[in-house]
Amino acid sequence: MASVEWVEVRGPSVEKAVEAALTELGLESRDEADVEVIQEPQRGFLGLGGQDAVVRVKRKERSGSGGRARRTRSGNGTGGRSAGSKPADGGPRKDAAPRAPRESQARNSGQRTATAPRPAAAARPAERPKPKERPPRPPRDDDDREETPIEEQSADIRRFLVGLLAAFGLEGEVKERIEDGAIHIDVVGEQTEALVGPKGSIVQAALELCRTIVQRRTMDGAKIRLDIAGYSERRREALRIYTTRLADKVKAEGGEVMLEPMNAADRKVVHDTVAEIDGVRSFSEGEEPRRSVVIAAE
């Protein structure tokens, strides 16, 4: 898997932005990264007119990371390790768009048509689009599974995850609740950060296993929402921040911007965020699983 080496993230505070960036890079602690504060947050009046903190967080080089695909940034001057130790350089930067380094788009190229900057917060390998939600499996004659009440499905998942934490030797708590016909599971506790993974890959894998456990017993498993160590919530927040920045830009410059393809849940986060901002609107284009949100000036 190609590994993203750095991201720029905006947040209400340096701490929050760094946290979101670390999550994005799949790092567990600040020790594993070089942090450069590009812009200190500035307080606005009643939440208006303030400026977010912007940080650039770079994965520290690790020896023996042989298998990882690395990519060096080119033509940009700040690619060295020294970038992290650079002090905050005061004034806001014009170009603080979050971009994963593998993005091929050139800095300051001014393109802002349908090519869409890749959101750091929501970066996902484009070559591996999320598979479409699977169609309900046809009933089989020899299927002796029965319908299981959602409470039991939820309890099964909880039990599975509690056991999984134990197998890892991690301390944590598994909370379950049923809301809108879906099972919501939160795995919480400091140590459960170890089960997030780069871009939430471990969360996704654990979710797949939860589904498998439920489908063993029941034909028609309920929808499962799984969050571990608050990853999904942080990711949504990062997506909101990114969307706001992009919408502000579209509002100022006109035209429209297409984001990278996202799943329905992420698109809803974008639509909801844009709906809060005057002067811009959003709509979706394209077919699943490559359906994308477009933000357009009104």
> Could you list the residues that contact another protein (CB under 8 A)?
64, 67, 160, 163-164, 166-169, 194-195, 197, 201-202, 204-206, 208-209, 212-213, 216
CB 201, min distance to another protein, A: 6
**Regarding beta strands 292-297 and 182-188, do their DSSP bridges make them parallel or antiparallel, or are they unpaired?**
unpaired
Between 86 and 132, CB nearer to another protein = 132
Cite the beta strand spans of the chain per DSSP E: 6-11, 33-39, 53-59, 173-179, 182-188, 223-228, 256-258, 280-285, 292-297
When the beta carbons of 156 and 266 are compared against another protein, the nearer one is: 156
- If the CB atoms of residues 87 and 131 are measured against another protein, the closer one turns out to be 131
Distance CA 274, CA 290 (A): 20
Q: How far is the CB of 267 from another protein (least distance, A)?
A: 24
Instruction: Determine the Cα–Cα distance for residues 257 and 271; give it in Å rounded to an integer.
Output: 13
Q: Report, in Å, the least distance between residue 139 CB and another protein.
A: 16
Report phi then psi at 171, rounded to 5.
-85, 140
Min CB(251)–another protein separation in Å: 40
Cis omega before residue 135 (within 30°)?
no
Specify the residue, 46 or 167, whose C-beta has the smaller distance to another protein: 167
Task: For another protein, give the closer residue by CB, 86 or 145.
Answer: 145
Least separation in angstroms between CB 213 and another protein: 6
Name the DSSP letter for residue 224: E
On the 0-12 / 13-18 / 19+ scale of CB atoms within 10 A, 6 is buried
Neighbours of 214 (CB within 10 A): 22
